[in-house]
Amino acid sequence: MSKVGKRLFKVVACFVQILLVVVLVAITIISFAYKLPILSRLGLTFYTVVSGSMEPTIATGSLIYSGKFSLEDLKKGDIITFVHSVDGGGSSIVTHRIDDVKKADIITFTADKKEQKTTKISFVTKGDANGSVDQKEVLPNQVLGKYQWGIPKLGYIAVFTQTQTGFVVLVVLPALILIVWEIFSVVMHFKKKYQKKSEEEVKELKKELEKTKKKVKKVIKKV
């Protein structure tokens, strides 16, 4: 292989390696960010849409990003991701559009009989494909984020990654390939380094041998 070919191969190999690392990190983040509190605090939380309630705006199987929000700025028409309480004590994560914002003033009194006024906010939500609004109103502490963007079909990959088979195929296997690749690169580097050193030592020995031969010839001539 020519020098140009070797350089081109190194560039392509380096690019593939970097791309593999980026893809591996991206898959890990989008699939398991919800399990890492530090990523959640940074707003790096993604969700997979498993129903068609928001079609055609958000297709089933989409991977969506719902980021940080200001409660006061949420208005009718915004799409939010929230925790939906299910009858029986369970819960699920839902992404629906705000159909109405309800505000109710609540007056309470302190121990010294001073009046305090607070505003209670709740959201009426509805899926774009649904014929009616959701039965339960969403409270502020249930809102996880405001919908920013989504990528169709990518959610299926995130769901697959969370399975044992998917984790092995999309995370463990690529990671092992990277590790083996790095070990091979290090071994080849030192092999070339010592090979070059050995070649230089052989050249030096040949030079010394030639010098010795010349000295021997001179001695023989004198004799």
pLDDT in tens, 35-71: 666 666 666 678 899 999 999 999 999 999 988 888 8
Residue numbers of the domain that contains 100: 51-148
pLDDT in tens, 160-186: 888 889 888 888 888 888 888 888 888
> Is 131 a domain residue?
yes
pLDDT at 126 over 60: yes
> Is 205 a domain residue?
no
Confidence of residue 102 (pLDDT cuts 50, 70, 90): very high
CA 198 from centroid of its chain's CA atoms? 45
User: Coil, helix or strand for 5?
Assistant: helix
φ, ψ of residue 75 to 5 degrees: the values are -140, 175
> Is 65 a domain residue?
yes
pLDDT of residue 81: 93
> Is 69 a domain residue?
yes
Could you give the angle at the alpha carbon of 220 between the alpha carbons of 219 and 223, nearest 5°?
90
Question: Token match 């004198």: residue?
Answer: 222
> Is 21 a domain residue?
no
> Is 59 a domain residue?
yes
Share the mean pLDDT of the chain. Answer: 82
> Is 116 a domain residue?
yes
pLDDT of residue 140: 92
Strand order in the sheet with 79-85: 46-48, 63-67, 143-151, 79-85, 91-109, 115-126
Mean pLDDT along residues 201-217: 69
pLDDT of residue 107: 80
Could you give the angle at the alpha carbon of 114 between the alpha carbons of 113 and 116, nearest 5°?
125
> Is 207 a domain residue?
no
Contacts of 64 (CB under 8 A, 6+ apart): 46, 47, 48, 49, 58, 81, 95, 147, 148, 149, 150, 151, 155
pLDDT of residue 46: 86
The count of structural domains within the chain is: 1
Which is more confidently placed, 2 or 182? Answer: 182
